[in-house]
Amino acid sequence: MSISLNHLRHKNFAIYGLGVTGRSVIRYFHKHGFKNYIGWDDDKKVFKKSIGPKYKNMRSDFLELVNFADYIIVSPGINIHKAKLKKILLKNKQKIITDLDLFYLLNPGIKSIVVTGTNGKSTTCKIIEHVLRKNNINTGLGGNIGSPILNLNLEKNSLAVVEASSFQLAYSKFIKPDYAVILNITKDHLDWHGSMNSYIQSKLKIFSLQKRGNFAFINSKKLLKKFRKNKYTSKIKFINHKKYEKIKNKIENDYLNLEVNDENMSFVYALSKILKIKEKSFIKSLKSFRGLKHRHEIFYKKNNKIFVNDSKATSFIASRFALKNNKNILWIVGGLPKIGDRFQLEGVKKNIIKAYVIGKYTDHFKRFLKGKINFESCKTLNNAVDSIFKDIKNARERKITVLLSPASASYDQFKNFGDRGNKFKKLIRNYTKKYF
């Protein structure tokens, strides 16, 4: 399905959620001459900042427009079952779309690679984009990775790389990837989705609107069974990790050669084969890849001390990769816990010297750590860094890795994981000036 830009200009839109995604929709509408739209956010401060001072009059206007709206664009992260205006949203559920849907409706000629999964989405998308650019393929990266999809300005022969969250996919109706990737699925966002089955079904959305001749990349036998049960029509590419292992030692990149990236790279390698990128060119292109901010980001080294920003690790399984790939760790952990997340420290606790627990839910994390590893309750990131440098001072001769890998969401004390990671890096740089 495709709809012309001119046709959509005459439709009525209600935008629910005025964060990064909602504001990108408004900018797009303003740029392309859309007139019939209005926005709303449950957060009064966000609403006033995004729309203007006339707060009192906007609610009634929004509710009125929703009733007559052709489309309701819901931002990622908004659970319509918990929203302040949930009754009217549920009543008009058939009208709900996402910014991803708008992108596909307005860009029918652009091919796309859509990546989803619990862990590794952003890194995988970034690697794919890098490989495509290095092999002279027109591309752009957007979606859940931080740059909204409507910010992209692509040529018709481009191959878009899209990171899609389970939140976005849950409401999407028009997403149609030429290449769809599910990296992995573990317990996450169950407070939002309500059940593991609902969470899985949202991920499977990327296969549901694919056509014959499109490709579906899977590495799980359980997902493969669900794929076949649902009778999706795209071509299955079941990922064989051993194929990537055969060329791994040829890749001259310390970051990509970390075990944490093996799963991501297996998918990227399989995709490169489908896209007919020559193996030599594939290997060469990866040499210059520098990794992703806030994902195992080694940003400072001094006197046998390594400082790693892994703020994007918002679950324990994500943190486990960093804990497994480093030694003599001073570990900053804590934040907003995720429902169903459990700490499996076996196999990694030997790498941890001490943990520094931050956030408003320290008791939650202490239950998992008590009796297993040495830890200190610090409450704030500032306190944790202060304690770490005092401990470093007493252990100058040891090789030490200072690791921020919170294994939790950031919203208890920070705007997002990026805000958390940036503040950590700033604190480290200030302290290193004093101590080194």
Domain final residue pick, 246, 264, 286: 286
pLDDT in tens, 295-339: 889 899 988 899 999 999 998 988 988 898 899 999 999 999 987
What pLDDT is attached to residue 250?
95
* Residue 360 · residue 402 · CB < 8 Å: no
A 10 A CB-CB count for 208 gives 17
Q: Report yes or no on 394 lying in a domain.
A: yes
For Cα atoms 134, 138, 142, give the angle at the middle one, nearest 5 degrees: 100
Q: What is the DSSP string of 362-393?
A: HHHHHHHHTTTS-EEEEESHHHHHHHHHHHHH
Answer yes or no: do 68 and 46 share one domain.
Answer: yes
Q: Which of 334, 360, 5, 19 is nearest to 165 (CA)?
A: 19
- Domain end marker among 226, 254, 286: 286
Tell me which residue of 204, 380, 415, 184 sits closest to 294, measured CA to CA: 415
307 and 396 assigned to the same domain: yes
Q: Are residues 175 and 266 in the same domain?
A: yes
- Within-domain flag for 112: yes
292 lies in a domain?
A: no
Q: Are residues 178 and 248 in the same domain?
A: yes
Query: Do residue 353 and residue 426 come from a single domain?
Result: yes
Question: Which of 71, 97, 123 is a domain's end point?
Answer: 97
**Residue 161 β-bridge partners:** 113, 141
How many domains does the chain divide into? 3
Is 291 part of a structural domain of the chain?
Answer: no
Q: What does the pLDDT look like over 2-60, one tens digit per residue?
A: 566 677 888 889 999 888 899 999 999 988 888 888 888 888 787 777 665 545 556 66
Distances (CA, A) of 227 to 41, 71, 235, 308: 36, 29, 11, 38
Q: Which of 105, 88, 85 is nearest to 32 (CA)?
A: 105
340 and 425 fall within a common domain:
yes
In this structure, the number of other CB atoms found within 10 A of the CB of residue 147 comes to: 15
Same-domain status, 205 and 259: yes
pTM to 2 decimal places: 0.79
Q: Which two tokens stand for residue 390?
A: 């005092």
Q: How far apart are CA 135 and CA 158, in angstroms?
A: 13
Is 121 a member of any domain? yes
Q: What is the DSSP string of 131-190?
A: HHHHTT--EEEEETTSS-GGG----TT-EEEEE--HHHHHH-SS---SEEEE----S--H
Torsion of CA 150, 152, 156, 162, to 10 degrees: -80
Would you state the pLDDT for residue 194?
67
Say whether both 141 and 261 belong to one domain: yes
Q: Indicate whether 323 and 277 sit together in one domain.
A: no
Question: pLDDT tens per residue, the chain (436 residues)?
Answer: 556 667 788 888 999 988 889 999 999 998 888 888 888 888 878 777 766 554 555 666 777 777 788 999 998 878 888 888 888 888 898 999 999 999 998 888 889 999 998 878 889 999 999 999 999 999 999 998 778 999 998 888 899 999 998 888 888 888 899 999 998 777 666 566 567 777 777 788 899 889 999 999 999 898 899 899 989 999 999 998 899 999 999 999 888 888 878 999 999 999 999 999 999 999 999 999 988 889 889 899 988 899 999 999 998 988 988 898 899 999 999 999 987 777 889 989 999 999 999 999 999 999 999 999 999 999 999 999 999 999 998 876 689 999 999 999 999 999 899 999 999 999 999 999 887 7
**Same domain? 264 vs 134:** yes
Residues 307, 390, single domain; the answer is yes
Domain range for 86: 5-97
403 closest CA partner among 347, 351, 336:
351
User: Which CATH number does the domain housing residue 390 bear?
Assistant: 3.90.190.20
The C-alpha atoms of residue 176 and residue 180 are separated, in whole angstroms, by: 9
Identify whether 164 is part of a domain: yes
The CATH number given to whatever domain includes residue 265 is 3.40.1190.10
Q: Are residues 135 and 174 in the same domain?
A: yes
Whichever domain contains 54, its CATH number is: 3.40.50.720
